[in-house]
Structure 1
Amino acid sequence: MQVEQPAPPADATGPSPQAAQGELSLTLLPCTAPSLADHVCVRTAPPAVPEGFVPYSESTTSILFAAPPSSSDQSGSAPVFLNPVQQYNRDLSVVAIRTWSEARQREKRAFWEEGIRRKRERKRAGGAGGEGKGKGKKRKAEDGTAVETMEPAEGPAAPTGEPAAEPQVEHALPPPPTYKFTLLEALSATGLRAIRYAKELPLLRYVVANDLSASAVKDIERNVAFNRLEPKGVLSLPGTEGMKEEDVKPLGARSKADIDEAKFGKVRVNEGDACVYMYQHRNEDKRFDCIDLDPYGSAVPFLDSAMNAIADGGLMCVTCTDMGVLAGHNYPEKAFTHYGGVCVNAEYSHEVALRLVLNALATTAARYGRYIEPQLSLSIDFYVRLFIRVRTAPKEVKALASKTSLVYYCHTCQSPHWQAFGRVSEKTSAKTGAVNYSYHVPAGPPKGVDGERCGECGGKFHIGGPMWSAPLHNQAFIQEMLEHVDENKKDFATHERIKGMLTVALNECEAPLYFSPAKMASLFNAVCPPISTYGSALLNAGYTASRSHAVAGSIKTNAPRSFVHDVIREWIKEHPVKMSNVKDGSPAKVLLAKEMRHEVSLKQHPDAGRRLLDDVKVVRYQMNPQANWGPARAAVRGAPLAKKGGQ
């Protein structure tokens, strides 16, 4: 972590040293940040594209990668992996990391202000010898500056005729420092993501772009230079004319971060094994504030080393593209060996995929006395993307068992029943008011599981998990991300989709898993009711209802499945099922024969449109962006470059 004391504003008149020397032609585009009004996104005019390379441009960044052969057994493959479809992933990551960095800045500044206040209080207490000590209160001035107000201590009133003491004395706090952060992209490939981070994250001190492949490292270095982010040398800094490198020290507006950036660059390239590199940064003074894991496949092999290398309160960004394992049903043994939990064969498998990855992250963190706080967990296209904060606290680690559960689900009607691994009880002290927590073994089996067969349809129970059963998102974090996207639409080509998916995630209720009205209707051989009718029935009964970002046309609710089934039974009264199509002994026959156990009203609820986002015009679910859309092929090492003349 880099802490920069605020420097006096530099003289803005006249051209910059680089412009004066004719080195760069810059176009400055405003990129407003809530806490960084002076930040701008710098778009450089890239140099000419060398022969044998293909350019690719995205947001502020243009990169090069070797052109694939025109005719070869490796046709369509390049020596470095790049999937343009995942621009959405990269745009979303920029928004999430910037939102986290600003929240972290506020947290550290509040801690800094509290430290200054306490230090002044101790100084006053010592200087007064314990007499006449006043109380210090912190408030904000009209311009937003933190101001400390001193109130005089209570004591005898001043004698008559003597002037009264000043009631308050204000001491303005010094300008707060700026807390910059370090970032590791452990599997960088082309370096596109790392370069975008360097250009688009105003509080970034530096990013390390690491890759195991020597050819990939060469590509990263080439792309860093192509974007003119290579080290310029400390003598390129203003005010160093005629000096030696060893004599350049932090002075005035020249900070240590400026010197390091000039010496090593803002994008620092490293060739090596990602796990080894992260284990080498496990000491607290070497840890990274943010780690991005975006591998080809599963991120599981990198989780242990990443948990050792991330700073307290840091942000971990994780991508897993092995959805055949996480959300499929053909590889339960592989899901268990990778993520410590069994996947499910149900319509809500994509949310289970998120919970399996969170379980792997939480259990890995717990081994080191750390715990996770999910900020945003999304199932996107053919992968999952998660943003979590990692903190250290033994008390929270103890609560992990209560946030981990098995799910018993019916193979036929897919009714889920949760079985937690722990139970937490709290007791408030009558004397001190302190809350004490105790941890217990839970009772089982869960309610609704009385044997091997489902009480709803008679189907057989299967088991999924263990998996994370606590909330997937931090609503305040998502709200800040939405505000940032609204204020910087021009900086993100995929801003419409980001806004749509974040809006759905923001409005998701915390109840785990979801169902689709179409699936429920098919269980009864009935006509499918509109989603607004289903949502209204849930809201009329006092339950929560929202959409799920994972699957279009799905509903999340805290209602039991018995009520969800009764909604269909009520719907069937007006839209009868053709019983000649229902076979004897079928699950539909069993479900139709059951009596209703709940009172259901299908009357349109006035809040249904808002809860289900029917009244909001956003891109809720993405259509396929291009032909042959999906995971790209892996990189092929040593793919030949295109020959001259196109041969």
Structure 2
Amino acid sequence: MMSAPNGQRKKQVPEGFKVLKEGDVEILQHGNDVFYNKTQIVNRDLSIAILRTFVEKRREEDAAAKANKKKRGGEGQGGGGKGKNKQAGQHASGAGSSAAPGAIGGSVSDGPGGVGNGPVASASGAPGAGESGHAGKVEERRGESGPEPGPSDDAAGSGPSHNEKGAVQGASGSTETANGDGGASSSGAAHGRGKGLAPLKVLEPLAASGLRSLRYAIEVDGLGAVLASDIDKVAVEACRRNIEWNGGRAALVQVREQDARLLCLQHEKAFDIVDLDPYGSPSIFLDSAVQSVADGGLFLCTATDMAVLCGNNGEVCYSKYGAYPLRAKYCHEMALRILLQCIESHANRYKRYIVPVLSLSVDFYIRVFVRIHTSPNIVKASPSKLSYVYQCVGCDSFYLQPLGRVTQKNNQSRYTPGVGPAVGQACENCGKHFLMGGPIWSEPIHDPAWVAATLSRVRSMKHRYPAYDKVHSILTAVSEELPDCPLYVSLHALSATLKCTPPSAILFRSAVANAGYRVSTSHANPLGIKTDAPMEVLWDIMRCWVKDHPVKPQKDETPGQKILAQQPQIQANFARSNAAQSKAQATRVPRFLPNPEQHWGPKPKAGRKIGPQHASLMGEAAVNGGPSSSNSIPAPIVGSVVAESTGIAEIDGGDEEPPAAKRPKLEAKAEAVGDS
């Protein structure tokens, strides 16, 4: 017997498989058939933390919308209001009129865990108070809004599936008996009329083993149907196997074998949460993905092609993301901003716009969390959220050139081109020329209110996160960033230009703060400094530092010589300032943790035979089938205090059979290495 309720572990592991446990979920792993990388535990933990915040935010927005509607007199004794209020209710009663009916937008029966028939009801909401001031602009998903449900609209919020005998399969997996008028006696997860917000619908179009979808379904309260899809048949079979293995709430996960782009296009505005986590670049999926997110929904997106985004292949980056990267010290934050502008560009084509709530550069990938809204008027302001970047080739000076402007005249918004150029032909600091990159997203990449709420919730549920220490450190670092200062400077790069011993980070930040400017660290680089001080002020501070710490004379016409030849316009004060020290530093809360083990990074793609060429990624032992193989016991995250109860473990299930060789040349090469 494989199936058993979640929590019961008296199950026999199929021969050739191993069990990997992460959080409250176990998956059956067979070689490298389906991609798994323990580095992504942090990715999934962060996503779960944000989803929990999103669920809570939606409840707050729904309560605010109810109060606002009542204040306007929209709720009467006999039902909803009239006119515009009634139209809004009709729009909110489903996931958009263009979506086909179905449990998740279609009448499909897909075998075990497949998608059945039933109406779709998808949430639509508005940003929280911290999201560009659009609070209260919410479309409601309550059964009490909109018209009376017909026979096909029962329990619309839960997205049930109807079987041939008239029973309703709710989002919780329980079977309910439909009454004569098409209504349903609702269980805890399914919401009928007047029951409040319906459970949120989730789509993971690149599900692989289904681990992420399973963790969402089992560990995040307030979610309804979770659709896990993959175009690879082996991955779909693995996903169904893992759903059966976990049992219980894992039944919330439905499986489909379909192309991710086609699936998203078939379900316009049908999902409250869409998580796109590809192996490589997400660029080919973005256009369809932004269309599948409901108004006010959450879009999660990962990109692992950092060599492209960070400037090693600028022409490739432009072809994929529509922006040219620069090889500068701030490249990891620039990569985030390039991805955000690309998502915004795709959303704008459908009169939609994004509001970032969290954007992260972690390990070898970037990950963004954005809400997507529809508003033709706000879309007009999108050019003002983008900028080109001018980077000096001689020193670390950079400047932003906004793409557009929004001005007010007679209480009317006017949209005009940006005014430039932002720089002259030569850098004022060192005399060298500029390179131009972008456009990038130049608005805030985090919502401080979201970050604070997520960090507080993570602290209160630390036992629920296998990678708690890493997650906590990342969110702590993000919470201390200046939200409105794009990109960062590197203290070591400034010092290298002048060929001087660098001041300590706290002294440099103190000098910036004492000069009357704001300053903070960056989560993307421990040595990164974010500030609203102009580059000229930063160079003046460094000139004052060099006066107290002399350097050898430099050759003429070098950037350092030209910078030091100018007299500082301000007198830097290096006295320690409280504004330069964060609360985390004062309380010694770790913000930048080391990798827990060697070869902590990307792994070979699913189905690929592990050969000598992967030694740099996985180590010699993994290539030779040793204990550090990708199928071995994943190590707990450094400093984790919960690895025993909710961490990662492995259960042997017999001798593992090697996957079939898909690349004979590599296999022969590996055998030759083994013979030697």
AA partner of residue 40 (structure 2): Q
Q: Is the 1:359–1:404 contact (alpha carbons within 8 Å) kept by the matching residues of 2?
A: yes
Q: Is the 2:396–2:494 contact (alpha carbons within 8 Å) kept by the matching residues of 1?
A: no
Counting only pairs closer than 5 Å after superposition, residues 39-58 of structure 1 correspond to structure 2 as 43-45=7-9, 47-58=11-22
**Corresponding residue of 1:61:** 25
Separation (CA, whole Å) in 1 of partners of 2:335 and 2:505: 24
TM-superposed deviation, 1:361: 0.4
Confirm whether residue 584 of structure 1 aligns to residue 603 of structure 2: no
Q: Could you tell which deviates more after superposition, 334-343 or 436-445?
A: 436-445
For 2:279, what is the secondary structure of its paired residue? coil
**Corresponding residue of 1:445:** 421
Confirm whether residue 278 of structure 1 aligns to residue 264 of structure 2: yes
Q: Is the 2:24–2:218 contact (alpha carbons within 8 Å) kept by the matching residues of 1?
A: yes
Give the number of aligned pairs: 502
Separation (CA, whole Å) in 2 of partners of 1:551 and 1:606: 21
AA partner of residue 395 (structure 1): N
TM-superposed deviation, 1:221: 0.5
TM-superposed deviation, 1:87: 0.2
AA partner of residue 323 (structure 1): M
Separation (CA, whole Å) in 2 of partners of 1:462 and 1:568: 23
Separation (CA, whole Å) in 2 of partners of 1:391 and 1:84: 33
Q: Is the 2:286–2:343 contact (alpha carbons within 8 Å) kept by the matching residues of 1?
A: yes
Confirm whether residue 527 of structure 1 aligns to residue 501 of structure 2: yes
Q: Could you tell which deviates more after superposition, 181-190 or 501-510?
A: 501-510
Q: Is the 1:46–1:227 contact (alpha carbons within 8 Å) kept by the matching residues of 2?
A: no
For 1:371, what is the secondary structure of its paired residue? strand
The partner residue of 1:632 within 584, 587, 603 is 603
**Corresponding residue of 1:236:** none
Q: Is the 2:396–2:493 contact (alpha carbons within 8 Å) kept by the matching residues of 1?
A: no
**Corresponding residue of 1:161:** none
Separation (CA, whole Å) in 1 of partners of 2:18 and 2:370: 35
For 1:295, what is the secondary structure of its paired residue? coil
Once the two structures are superposed, residues 538-597 of structure 1 have per-residue CA deviations (whole angstroms, 9 ceiling, x without a partner) of: 111111100000011211001111111111111112111122xx2232221111111112
Counting only pairs closer than 5 Å after superposition, residues 191-270 of structure 1 correspond to structure 2 as 191-229=210-248, 265-270=251-256
AA partner of residue 502 (structure 2): C
TM-superposed deviation, 1:122: 5.4
Q: Percent identity?
A: 38
The partner residue of 2:582 within 596, 606, 610 is 610
AA partner of residue 634 (structure 1): K
Separation (CA, whole Å) in 1 of partners of 2:74 and 2:357: 36
**Corresponding residue of 1:555:** 529
Q: Is the 1:497–1:619 contact (alpha carbons within 8 Å) kept by the matching residues of 2?
A: no
Counting only pairs closer than 5 Å after superposition, residues 490-505 of structure 1 correspond to structure 2 as 490-505=463-478
For 2:358, what is the secondary structure of its paired residue? strand
AA partner of residue 624 (structure 1): N
Q: Is the 1:499–1:618 contact (alpha carbons within 8 Å) kept by the matching residues of 2?
A: no
Counting only pairs closer than 5 Å after superposition, residues 558-577 of structure 1 correspond to structure 2 as 558-577=532-551
TM-superposed deviation, 1:609: 1.7
For 2:527, what is the secondary structure of its paired residue? coil
The partner residue of 2:407 within 420, 425, 450 is 425
Separation (CA, whole Å) in 1 of partners of 2:480 and 2:309: 25
Once the two structures are superposed, residues 173-202 of structure 1 have per-residue CA deviations (whole angstroms, 9 ceiling, x without a partner) of: x98624310000110111110100010111
Structure-2 change in CA distance of 1:186 and 1:46 (3 Å): farther
Separation (CA, whole Å) in 2 of partners of 1:415 and 1:576: 22
**Corresponding residue of 1:354:** 336
Structure-2 change in CA distance of 1:583 and 1:100 (3 Å): same
TM-superposed deviation, 1:605: 1.5
**Corresponding residue of 1:107:** 61
CA RMSD of aligned residues (A): 2.4
Q: Is the 1:185–1:292 contact (alpha carbons within 8 Å) kept by the matching residues of 2?
A: yes
For 1:359, what is the secondary structure of its paired residue? helix
Provide structure 1 residue ranges, at least 5 long, that are not aligned to the other structure: 1-22, 27-42, 69-77, 125-173, 232-264, 430-434
Q: Is the 2:208–2:236 contact (alpha carbons within 8 Å) kept by the matching residues of 1?
A: yes
**Corresponding residue of 1:513:** 487
- Rg larger for: 1
Separation (CA, whole Å) in 1 of partners of 2:505 and 2:371: 35
For 1:552, what is the secondary structure of its paired residue? strand
Confirm whether residue 483 of structure 1 aligns to residue 456 of structure 2: yes
**Corresponding residue of 2:279:** 296
AA partner of residue 471 (structure 1): P
The partner residue of 1:177 within 193, 196, 202 is 196
Q: Is the 2:499–2:551 contact (alpha carbons within 8 Å) kept by the matching residues of 1?
A: yes
Separation (CA, whole Å) in 2 of partners of 1:583 and 1:616: 45
The partner residue of 1:471 within 430, 444, 463 is 444
Q: Is the 2:230–2:257 contact (alpha carbons within 8 Å) kept by the matching residues of 1?
A: yes
**Corresponding residue of 1:245:** none
Confirm whether residue 372 of structure 1 aligns to residue 379 of structure 2: no
Q: Is the 2:480–2:582 contact (alpha carbons within 8 Å) kept by the matching residues of 1?
A: no
**Corresponding residue of 1:306:** 289
**Corresponding residue of 2:625:** none
Structure-2 change in CA distance of 1:496 and 1:644 (3 Å): closer
Separation (CA, whole Å) in 2 of partners of 1:601 and 1:298: 45
Separation (CA, whole Å) in 1 of partners of 2:344 and 2:656: 55
Separation (CA, whole Å) in 1 of partners of 2:10 and 2:347: 42
Separation (CA, whole Å) in 1 of partners of 2:50 and 2:496: 39
For 1:529, what is the secondary structure of its paired residue? coil
Confirm whether residue 334 of structure 1 aligns to residue 333 of structure 2: no
AA partner of residue 608 (structure 1): A
The partner residue of 1:90 within 41, 44, 63 is 44
**Corresponding residue of 2:514:** 540
Under a length normalisation based on structure 1, what TM-score does the superposition of the two structures give? Answer: 0.74
**Corresponding residue of 2:572:** 600
Structure-2 change in CA distance of 1:111 and 1:54 (3 Å): same
**Corresponding residue of 2:116:** none
For 2:470, what is the secondary structure of its paired residue? helix
For 1:439, what is the secondary structure of its paired residue? strand
For 2:582, what is the secondary structure of its paired residue? helix
Q: Is the 1:345–1:411 contact (alpha carbons within 8 Å) kept by the matching residues of 2?
A: no
Once the two structures are superposed, residues 92-144 of structure 1 have per-residue CA deviations (whole angstroms, 9 ceiling, x without a partner) of: 000001111110122123223443555577569xxxxxxxxxxxxxxxxxxxx
TM-superposed deviation, 1:393: 0.9
Separation (CA, whole Å) in 1 of partners of 2:71 and 2:580: 49
Structure-2 change in CA distance of 1:201 and 1:445 (3 Å): same
Q: Is the 1:109–1:176 contact (alpha carbons within 8 Å) kept by the matching residues of 2?
A: no
Q: Is the 1:191–1:220 contact (alpha carbons within 8 Å) kept by the matching residues of 2?
A: yes
For 2:332, what is the secondary structure of its paired residue? helix
Confirm whether residue 80 of structure 1 aligns to residue 80 of structure 2: no
Q: Is the 2:430–2:562 contact (alpha carbons within 8 Å) kept by the matching residues of 1?
A: yes
TM-superposed deviation, 1:337: 0.5
Separation (CA, whole Å) in 2 of partners of 1:272 and 1:366: 26
**Corresponding residue of 1:190:** 209
Once the two structures are superposed, residues 346-397 of structure 1 have per-residue CA deviations (whole angstroms, 9 ceiling, x without a partner) of: 1000110000000100010000000000000011110000000000111210
Runs of 4+ in 1 over 4 A off after TM superposition: 23-26, 116-124, 641-647
Q: Is the 1:501–1:619 contact (alpha carbons within 8 Å) kept by the matching residues of 2?
A: no
Structure-2 change in CA distance of 1:644 and 1:537 (3 Å): closer
Once the two structures are superposed, residues 303-336 of structure 1 have per-residue CA deviations (whole angstroms, 9 ceiling, x without a partner) of: 1111111100000000000000001x32010010
**Corresponding residue of 1:137:** none
Separation (CA, whole Å) in 2 of partners of 1:437 and 1:550: 35
For 1:312, what is the secondary structure of its paired residue? strand
